[in-house]
Chains A and B, each alone.
Chain A
C-alpha cells in the first residue's frame, strides 16, 4: 500500500506546531499502525531527519500508552481497540491519513504526538484507591461475599486503561468516562464503600482543576473507548456525587 500521512509535528511544549505531509510506500496490511510509523521513522532517521515522537509501550492493548487521533477518531477507525491493535488493513491504497495528538487542555503536547497525561495520575491520586490498614490485621478478600453481578460490573469498570481516548473524543474535552470508571470500580464493591463519598468528591474536584470540560451526554466517549466502558458508570458517578454533595459534613 502507498499512503499519505499528515502528521502533527511540534518541536516542544511551547513550540508552534504544524501538519507535515509524509508519503509512505510498502505498507503491508498486516502491520499495526504503530509498526507503520516505525517504518516511517526508520526512513526519517536514515535521511537524517528527526523521527516522529509518539507514545507506545505494551503494543497489545493493555497499557493505554499509545494514543493518536487518526482520521478524526481516537485510536482510528474500529471499535474496542487501541492504536497498537489497529491494523493497516483498515485502510486502502492511496488513502490520506491525518495523525494528531490528543487535544485537551488537560493533555498538553510535549512533542509531536506525545501528550502529558499526568493529569489522570493526579485525579487518581486524589481518591482512586482504597486505604488499607497493613498493620497485621488484613482480611482475606474472599471472606467478603460479593454478588457476581456487582463483581462483574466492577471488573468492567476496572478494565479502563487510562488512555484518554474519552477526553480526546469528547466534543467538550470531558474526562467523565475515565473518572466514572475509576470511581465505579471501587464503589460497586464493599471494600470501596467506606470511602465512596470522599472519593467521588475529591476525584471530581481534581478533574475540574485540571481543566477538563463538562460532560453533555453525547455518548461519544463510550463509542471510542477501547475498553467499551459504559455510560452507566457516568450515571453512577453522577448519583454518588449528588448524594455526597448533599450529605457531606
Chain B
C-alpha cells in the first residue's frame, strides 16, 4: 500500500493527529470553564444559563459538528497508527526494558485513548443525549430552558458514575501529559528555548483540566454545593 499525499504517509498521519489533538484540547478549555460555573454555588443558575447558550446558539451548534468530526478523525487516525505500529514489529522481544528509555504513558496512548473513548460514550449518554435528543426537565418558569444542573446532581448521586468519571479523568491526565507536548513535536516545533515552556505548560494544563473535571462529580456527590 502506497502511503503518500496529504493523508497517507506516516508523517502526515501524525500532523493530523497533532492538529485534531490540539483542537480537542481547545474544546476542553471551554468545557471545563463552563462546567466550573457550578462552583458559584448558586444552585446551578449560572451554569444552566451557559448550558442554554451552548445548546441553542447557532455558531456553537455548528462548532459542535466540527468537534465531532475532529474527534472521529482523531480516533480513526489513531487506530490506523496503532495497527500499523503493531505490524511494524511482528516478533516481540523476550526481554524489553521500556522503562529505561521512555515513560509508560508515552507508549500507552492507544490504551489511554480507548479508555477515554469508553468514558466519553458513557459521558455523552449521561448528558449530551438527554440535553440534545431525548429531552430534560425544564427549569420552573423558564420554558425551553433545560435544567442540566439537576441532571448532574441526579447522575452523581450514586457512587458508581462518580468513580468511573474520576478514572476517566485520570486517563485524560496521562493522555494529555504526553499528547500536549507531543503535538508540538509532530508539527515540527522543537526549540531549545521553548521546549521546557511547552513541557511545563503541558504538565500544568493536564493537571489543572483533570483536577477541575474530577472535582465536579466529587463536589456534587459529597454535597459540597447547595
* Interface, chain A (partner B; CB < 8 A): 6, 8, 19, 69, 71-73, 77, 98, 100, 103-106, 109, 169, 171-174, 204-205, 207-209, 211-220, 223-224, 231-232, 234-242, 245
Contacts and interface: CB of A to CB of B under 8 A. Distances in A.
Nearest to B10: A214
A220 B85 CA distance: 15
A212 B88 contact: yes
Contact of B89 (A103, A207, A236): A103
A100 B94 contact: yes
A207 B90 contact: no
Given A171-B102, A205-B9, A245-B12, A217 B93 contact: no
Contacts of B91: 103, 109
Contacts of A19: 94
Given A213-B85, A214-B81, 20 more contacts: A71-B95, A71-B97, A72-B95, A72-B97, A77-B100, A171-B85, A205-B4, A209-B3, A215-B10, A215-B186, A216-B182, A217-B106, A217-B182, A224-B100, A235-B189, A238-B14, A238-B187, A238-B188, A241-B9, A245-B5
B101 A173 contact: no
A223 B101 contact: yes
B182 A220 contact: no
Interface of B: 2-6, 9-15, 81, 84-85, 87-98, 100-103, 106-107, 109, 178, 181-182, 185-190, 192
Nearest to B90: A105
A72 B96 CA distance: 4
A71 B65 CA distance: 49
| Chain A contact residues: helix, strand, loop or mixed | mixed
A88 B11 CA distance: 40
A205 B97 CA distance: 30
Contact of B88 (A213, A217, A231): A213
Given A100-B93, A171-B107, A218-B106, A238 B11 contact: yes
Contacts of A207: 10
B84 A213 contact: yes
Given A6-B94, A72-B96, A205-B4, A173 B189 contact: no
Given A171-B107, A218-B103, A236-B188, A104 B88 contact: yes
A235 B88 contact: no
A219 B14 contact: no
A218 B186 CA distance: 11
Q: Which of B11, B13, B84, B103 has most A Cβ within 10 Å?
A: B11
A105 B87 contact: yes
Contact of A98 (B90, B95, B98): B95
Contacts of B192: 232
A173 B187 contact: no
A224 B100 CA distance: 9
A208 B94 CA distance: 26
11 contacts: A172-B89, A174-B10, A207-B10, A215-B186, A217-B186, A218-B106, A220-B101, A224-B100, A235-B190, A241-B12, A242-B11
B134 to A, nearest CB: 38
